[in-house]
Structures are given as C-alpha cells and as structure tokens.
Chains A and B, each alone.
Chain A
Amino acid sequence: MRDDQDLSELIRTAAQGDRRAFEDLVVLKRERVVRTAFQIVGDMEDARDVAQGVFLRLWRVLQRFDLERRFDTWLYRITVNAAIDFIRDRGPKGLLQPLPEDASEHLASGAPGADELLDRARLQKTFLRLAAALAPKQRAVFVLKEIDGLDTDEVARVLEISESTVRNHLHQARRILREAIRREHPEWS
C-alpha cells in the first residue's frame, strides 16, 4: 500500500508527462474508478468506457492538480461527473444484461456469509435494477455514501453541493429504494 508521500510523488511525476508513472497511477486507482462508475451507469462495459474516459481526461488535466488537495476527492469528482454525463446521454438503464460471468461467479461464491436470501450477486443485480429509478444525482450520492462509504462532507466536496443537499438526496434515494424493495422483495423483511 502506497502512503500519501509516494502517491504525491507519483502524481507529480505523472503530471510532468511521465507516461510510465501515469500508467502506475492508473493501476492504483482503476478499480475504484470502475467500481464507482459501474454502480452509477449500471453496466460493466459502459463502466469500462467511462473509466477510460476518466483516465484520458486525468492525463490531460493532471498538471493542474494542486498537490495540497485530496487526490481521491478530485478523481471521484471527475469519475462521477463522467458517469452522470454518460447516463444523461444514454438514458436510465436497469440491469438489461447480466454481469460478466467471472464477476457473477466471484460475487456469488466469494461473498463471506452469503446465503440463499442475500448473496452479493443478487444484491448487486437488485441494486442495478432498482437504482435505475433514481435521478442521476440521487444515485451518485447513494453510491458515494452508502456503497463507497464516503462521509457526508466528502460527498458534498466531490459533487460540489452543500451537505444538506447531500442529506436530502440520500434521504430521497433511500426512500425510493426502500419502497421498491418492500414492494418487489417482501421476503427480505
């Protein structure tokens, strides 16, 4: 695990146009970028496209990054904006296609404590299907707060909105998802 100093050095080197350093930075951050994009756009192939766009943009603007600021917040912002733009262009989409085989198998078999009722593959499919009903900003707030585990103030910085707006979006998103689950999956509770 790289510490902050190593990460800063890597960013500084990449920002000077060092492609090798930038590729290392991509390896370091790609899983987080793809995961966040996936939960927002709802499709693994689309998430891959979004992630590639995010890193190309990052390559172009990295020299403008202020090393005094948090890199992850900045990267989250680029990722979420790209994902929201993507679904606004494409329109909402539920789980119209299954997860790639290896992901489904991994999710189902590797989930600690998985049982018939709530294994993670089913949980993932349910989220992607129901989250299609959320507005893009609501969905982004829910993903950042509930799935990526960011605190409210950090979600506000990523999305450049107030903390009260974050709480409002989160409240609405939880309500919509809760009602949908209770309607479609009464066996959960």
Chain B
Amino acid sequence: MSAHVDPRLLEDAPGAARREMLRHLAGCRACRSAVAAHDPSLLFGLLADAPIPSAILDAVSRETARRIAEPVRVSRLPALAAASAALAILCGSVVFRPESAPAPVPAPALAALPRANVEVQSGAPVSQVVDFTVGDTQVVMVYNPELQL
C-alpha cells in the first residue's frame, strides 16, 4: 500500500503523482476523512474512472455511424430564402401600392394651382404656343416652322 495522502499535496499534484494519490484515496478511509476535513471538493477526483453505461456508449457509436453514412444533402435553404424574399417584395409592392401612392388631387384644387404665363418675345413670326399641361404638371411647346437646325 502506498503512503498516506497529504491533502495539501493532492491539491496541486500533477498527472501521475495525482493519479497515484487518488488510487490510494479510493482504498483508504482514513485518507478520505483527512481530505474531506481539508477540502471535501478534492474527493470529486475519485469520479475520474466512473464507468459509463455500455448502452450509452453503444448508442453514441451507432448513431454516429448512421449519421455519417447518410448521403450528403445539398442545402436548398439559401435558394428558398432568396425566392421567398423576392416573392415578399413583389407581393408587398402590389399589396401596399394603393396605400403608398400619393392621393389624387381633387379637380377643384388643380384648377386653383397657379399657372405660368408663357410669352415668346423673340422676333416674328412665331407661329404657335401649344399647352400640353396635364394635371398639376405644366408642359408648354413653342413651335416655330422657320427655325432651321
């Protein structure tokens, strides 16, 4: 039987020395009591070789083997996400367009808008001034048949 364990040495013992102390501790009640009195948390070192149920180990092997044997599936997630985003934008623009478009200006309001007075002061003969104003956008065309480009 190895020498009794000094609890203060067990605290900082490295690798092999520590394993030797724990082996002794597992079989020596007096040393366990001494360690418990010094720092009972050191007794948890005795859990180092706690057995793991074979059913758990077999399940790990079995499930791992099954999963790595599965054919690699190419993820379609990015393509689906892009398609969903495009669809959402399209639907959103259709659904929300009526709300986001500017409200039509009532006819009386249009009539009340100030209109620019177009007057051509270049030399004669200016034949025509044509007003294409639509709604609140004023468009005026000045037409001169003598102008040569």
Q: Give the interface of A toward B (CB within 8 A).
A: 19, 22-23, 26-27, 30-31, 33-35, 38-39, 44, 47-48, 51-52, 55-56, 59, 100, 102-103, 106-107, 110-113, 115, 117-118, 120, 123-124, 127, 142, 146-149, 151, 173-174, 177-178, 181-182, 185, 188-189
- Establish whether residues A115 and B29, one from each chain, have CB atoms under 8 Å apart when the complex forms: yes
Measured CB to CB, the closest approach of chain B to A97, in angstroms, equals 14
- Establish whether residues A118 and B43, one from each chain, have CB atoms under 8 Å apart when the complex forms: yes
> Quick check: is B81 within 8 A (CB to CB) of the other chain?
no
- The residue that B56 contacts in the complex, of A100, A124, A177, with Cβ under 8 A, is A100
- Establish whether residues A34 and B56, one from each chain, have CB atoms under 8 Å apart when the complex forms: yes
* Closest CB pairs A-B (n = 9): A177-B41, A113-B27, A181-B40, A55-B64, A189-B37, A188-B36, A189-B36, A174-B41, A51-B60
A120-B50, A146-B45, A148-B48 are contacts. A44–B56 as well, Cβ < 8 Å? yes
- Establish whether residues A48 and B60, one from each chain, have CB atoms under 8 Å apart when the complex forms: yes
- Establish whether residues A30 and B36, one from each chain, have CB atoms under 8 Å apart when the complex forms: no
Closest B residue, CB atoms, query A151: B14
Complex Cα spacing A27 to B60, Å: 9
- Establish whether residues A106 and B69, one from each chain, have CB atoms under 8 Å apart when the complex forms: no
A112-B27, A146-B42, A178-B41 are contacts. A118–B60 as well, Cβ < 8 Å? no
Residues of B in contact (CB 8 Å), total 40
Please count the residue pairs between chain A and chain B whose beta carbons lie under 8 angstroms apart in the complex.
Answer: 128
Measured CB to CB, the closest approach of chain A to B16, in angstroms, equals 9
Closest A residue, CB atoms, query B25: A113
Closest A residue, CB atoms, query B59: A48
A-B contact pairs, 9 of them (CB 8 A): A23-B64, A33-B60, A35-B52, A59-B68, A100-B53, A117-B32, A118-B46, A174-B41, A188-B43
- The residue that A100 contacts in the complex, of B33, B55, B64, with Cβ under 8 A, is B55
- Establish whether residues A31 and B36, one from each chain, have CB atoms under 8 Å apart when the complex forms: no
- The residue that B40 contacts in the complex, of A111, A147, A185, with Cβ under 8 A, is A185
- Establish whether residues B68 and A56, one from each chain, have CB atoms under 8 Å apart when the complex forms: yes
> Quick check: is B3 within 8 A (CB to CB) of the other chain?
no
Complex Cα spacing A91 to B71, Å: 34
- Establish whether residues A113 and B29, one from each chain, have CB atoms under 8 Å apart when the complex forms: yes
Closest A residue, CB atoms, query B41: A177
Chain B residues whose C-beta falls within 8 Å of the C-beta of A56 in the assembled complex = 64, 67-68
Chain B residues whose C-beta falls within 8 Å of the C-beta of A173 in the assembled complex = 41
Closest B residue, CB atoms, query A150: B15
